[in-house]
Structure 1
Amino acid sequence: MRNHATATPRGWALPGIANLHSHAFQRAMAGMAERQTDPRDSFWTWRETMYAMAARFDPGLLQAVAAQLYVEMLEAGYTTVCEFHYLHHAADGTPHAQPDAMSQALLRAARETGIRITLLPVLYMTGGFDGRALSERQRRFGHRVDAYLRLHETLRANAGDTVRIGCALHSLRAVPAAAMGEVLAGLPADARIHIHVAEQTAEVDECVAVRGARPVQWLLDNAAVDARWTLVHATHLDAAEVQGIARSGATVAICTTTEANLGDGLFPLRSFLDAGGRWGIGSDSHISVSPVEELRWLEYGQRLHARRRNIASSADSPSVGAALLQGVLGSAADSSGFAADDRIVLDAQAPILAGASADDLIDRWIFSGNASLVRDVVVAGVRVVEDGRHRDREAIAARYREAMRQLLS
């Protein structure tokens, strides 16, 4: 396995990390859903808190929050973000005068911070597998197929060196089968396609009851799933689904900290690796914005479940850290659409890296503490982080503080 660590005059250089799953607006509610609302609190009760926050956003507030988030991502070592975007309309479901106003807010945030973005406008049509209408709180997410395809076509004019436009199907429960087929037929052949799938056991049970198959199996049987696809979460899989995803070439986006925060469950990492499956990481709800924490707790969750150590290692890579880094690097281009050569530089003078070598550098970065070791970040040839600080950190933070004042007032 390739050793990606290179010594440079400014420190240890590594490739930049792709964040495969982001809901930028949720950064504004991080830490605000940690009080019991029901004795059986779960994803489904958390979702009501999320809806209440989502209802407060307009394009200006979304840009301010997203820019702050993207600064945090860059300073942590993420150089690409796949933004799974469903805040399309005003809170009551009325389209904005400029139908892509919320999407453009995210693109402006990405451009001003310098992060690469794969914008994934979301198709969201129904409130469940039974086809029920969207609830009042979901109306701002909704599109008909024709309006969605028009939005997608409009946004494609924004694609460029640091911008890609892909497609997100919110989930099988939110996109009827016929609509999914119509949208897929209307997309460019190279469009990246992301979908939430099998995050919750209730979702799996409802899919079996209504469609007669588990969600991942239904998707594999009813769509041409290939390397362009990213299955977000895919937490609850049986053995046949593990093998099926691996054969398809699709990527699974594992969002370890969010899945833990919501009590979703553990992805079957070792069996997926054994099947040759491809995977990456996402920070999703952004209760943490750190590739180190996503990777560390991906491994630690598996250790707690298996009650043994070094789960992600293999004969080819006895180093757990190197195996984890190889996983996220190997899926990034297919999932995001970017074949990028961005880099991050770790501070070789950090005490925690004293005496580090290329052989142990990645393990020490991931498994030796919480202080950020990222010194520099270069995206598309531009140094956007230097000595640990984003070039526009203070101005963007000031706008974020004002946005939070408005959101919470």
Structure 2
Amino acid sequence: MQVTYWLEHAWLDTHVEPGVAVEVDAGRITSVVTDVPAPPRGATALRGLTLPGLANAHSHAFHRALRSTVQVGSGTFWTWRDVMYGVSARLTPESYHALARAVYAEMALAGITAVGEFHYLHHGPGGTPYDDPNAMGDALIAAAADAGIRITLLDTAYLASGLIDKRRGAAPNKHQLRFSDGTAQAWAERASLLKDGEHTRIGAAIHSVRAVPAAQLSTVAEWAEARQAPLHVHLSEQTAENDACRAAHGCTPTRLLADHGVLGPRTTGVHNTHLTAGDISLIGTTATGTCMCPTTERDLADGIGPAVQLQHAGSPLSLGSDSHAVIDILEESRAMELNERLRTRTRGHWTAAALLRAATADGHAAIGWGDAGTIEPGALADLTTIALDTVRTAGPVSRLGAETAVFAASAADVRHTVVGGRQIVRDGVHTLVPDVPQALARSIATLHA
């Protein structure tokens, strides 16, 4: 399908350009013409500031059902996890599809065009397999297609409830039986049944060093290497994880992953919060990525990861909404900078342009869509347009485009979203799932009944 979009203002990697005509054919940008003062005949006008589509590099779709319900009283990550288990126990392929469809539509409304879904809810109650061993993953893939966004299904190995010693992990608890395939080899056999598609890419994930025994880490890494697929891992999110790893293995989780061939340029560590200087060096020198999820990290009181040091060491940064305390990648980018300001009492750790790159090109690369995240010929035609006439964004966009997007705008200011040349959000309304708030409410209510 051939289509032309006229962008009132466009962020072209380094600057804002007014009046840009973008031609699209077969889902990709074929030309970008600047200095076009008015929409060409037949073009669709996207008024506002258009960015490349935003990438959400770390999502647990079912965690969306926890929003607000886990804010009563105090607690820790571990008490939050107990509530999460209760929600996961009620999900079926049908109810997960309904919830994820609404969650991914919420992402589209926030300008997200691709999501990395860190998927570990594989089986039925008690760990009983469904007739289709990938029924839950298939539900997520279908949900993303229904919502019109791209998905990288990061199928996750989750085999143990914790570390015992160098050889063994503790058996999964009753909640985690749904997550476990028993062994990494059984995980690999099931994950191999999943296939890439036009809007789908299949990747791998290691839930954490506490959930995959050390002797089985290489099986997951080799599966991803054989397929040249992205590989993600929760890394040092909690100090308790570090303490347990040192007790069992005499080293940090980062060192353990390095020793078993997990780190590398197609690998992304999610959170990377409690790291030593040696950990930072290992991650940087192997070009392992870092996905920061600031709104979840602050919601769970996890701490602030050393993102500045990681990037300086050579780790590309991406962003995720993780538990979906909010779904707003612009807020994630802003929060990464503002967290550093609070910690260091200085400003300007990243330029707004660098933060936008984490939200777009580097985010897409982290989840295997390296051909997205820019507005240039050959790139996937994924676009996000921010309104410039709201009380948050009104101002000198021609001079401060990236700053307006990162430090003023929010998900509520997204006006249009285009994926593969198809407009799936028009004037703030999802064209495929028009009843997103109602769909979310219905799906979440069934899980709390």
Q: TM-score, normalised by structure 1?
A: 0.92
Q: How does 1:44-123 map to 2 (within 5 A)?
A: 44-123=78-157
Matched, 1:226 2:248: no
Q: What is the match of residue 324 of structure 1?
A: 355
- State the AA in 2 paired with 1:166: G
Q: What is the match of residue 291 of structure 2?
A: 253
1:392 to 416, 422, 432: 432
The 2-side partners of 1:371 and 1:113 are apart by 17
Secondary structure in structure 2 of the residue aligned to 1:223: coil
Shift of the 146–238 alpha-carbon distance from structure 1 to 2, 3 Å rule, reads closer
The 2-side partners of 1:78 and 1:280 are apart by 13
CA contact (8 A) 1:246 1:277 kept: yes
Moved >6 Å (runs of 4+): none
Q: What is the match of residue 202 of structure 1?
A: 240
Q: What is the match of residue 366 of structure 1?
A: 406
The 2-side partners of 1:71 and 1:399 are apart by 10
- State the AA in 1 paired with 2:58: H
Q: What is the match of residue 377 of structure 1?
A: 417
Matched, 1:216 2:254: yes
Shift of the 217–32 alpha-carbon distance from structure 1 to 2, 3 Å rule, reads same
Q: Unmatched 5+ residue regions in structure 2? A: 1-11, 20-44, 373-379
The 1-side partners of 2:410 and 2:438 are apart by 25
Secondary structure in structure 2 of the residue aligned to 1:345: strand
Bigger mean CA deviation after superposition, 130-139 or 389-398? 389-398
Q: What is the match of residue 346 of structure 1?
A: 386
Q: What is the match of residue 191 of structure 2?
A: 152
CA contact (8 A) 1:21 1:283 kept: yes
After superposition, what is the alpha-carbon deviation per residue over 1:351-384, rounded to whole angstroms, capped at 9, x for unaligned? 5444433441121222225572211111111111
Displacement of 1:397: 4.2
CA contact (8 A) 1:170 1:195 kept: yes
Displacement of 1:3: 1.5
1:13 to 33, 42, 50: 50
Displacement of 1:90: 1.3
Secondary structure in structure 1 of the residue aligned to 2:116: strand
Secondary structure in structure 2 of the residue aligned to 1:232: strand
Q: What is the match of residue 317 of structure 1?
A: none
Matched, 1:3 2:14: yes
Secondary structure in structure 2 of the residue aligned to 1:154: coil
Displacement of 1:292: 1.6
The 2-side partners of 1:113 and 1:7 are apart by 30
- State the AA in 1 paired with 2:176: Q
- State the AA in 2 paired with 1:308: T
CA contact (8 A) 1:5 1:13 kept: no
Matched, 1:127 2:161: yes
1:311 to 346, 349, 353: 349
Q: Unmatched 5+ residue regions in structure 1? A: 313-319
CA contact (8 A) 1:299 1:311 kept: yes
1:280 to 307, 313, 318: 318
- State the AA in 2 paired with 1:139: L
The 1-side partners of 2:232 and 2:246 are apart by 21
Bigger mean CA deviation after superposition, 365-374 or 46-55? 365-374
The 2-side partners of 1:224 and 1:353 are apart by 42
- State the AA in 1 paired with 2:400: D
Shift of the 134–255 alpha-carbon distance from structure 1 to 2, 3 Å rule, reads same
1:335 to 354, 359, 366: 366
Shift of the 94–345 alpha-carbon distance from structure 1 to 2, 3 Å rule, reads same
- State the AA in 2 paired with 1:324: L
CA contact (8 A) 2:54 2:114 kept: yes
Q: What is the match of residue 36 of structure 2?
A: none
Displacement of 1:4: 5.4
Calculate percent identity across the aligned residue pairs: 38
After superposition, what is the alpha-carbon deviation per residue over 1:156-177, rounded to whole angstroms, capped at 9, x for unaligned? 2xx1221000001111111112
The 1-side partners of 2:261 and 2:399 are apart by 42
Structure with the largest fraction of strand: 2
Q: How many residues in Structure 1 have an aligned counterpart in Structure 2?
A: 397
- State the AA in 2 paired with 1:223: G
Q: What is the match of residue 28 of structure 2?
A: none
Q: What is the match of residue 200 of structure 2?
A: 163
Secondary structure in structure 2 of the residue aligned to 1:168: strand
2:396 to 332, 335, 356: 356
1:265 to 281, 303, 307: 303
The 2-side partners of 1:101 and 1:324 are apart by 36
Secondary structure in structure 2 of the residue aligned to 1:344: strand
The 1-side partners of 2:391 and 2:364 are apart by 33
Displacement of 1:398: 3.8
CA contact (8 A) 1:207 1:213 kept: yes
- State the AA in 2 paired with 1:367: F
* RMSD, matched Cα: 1.9
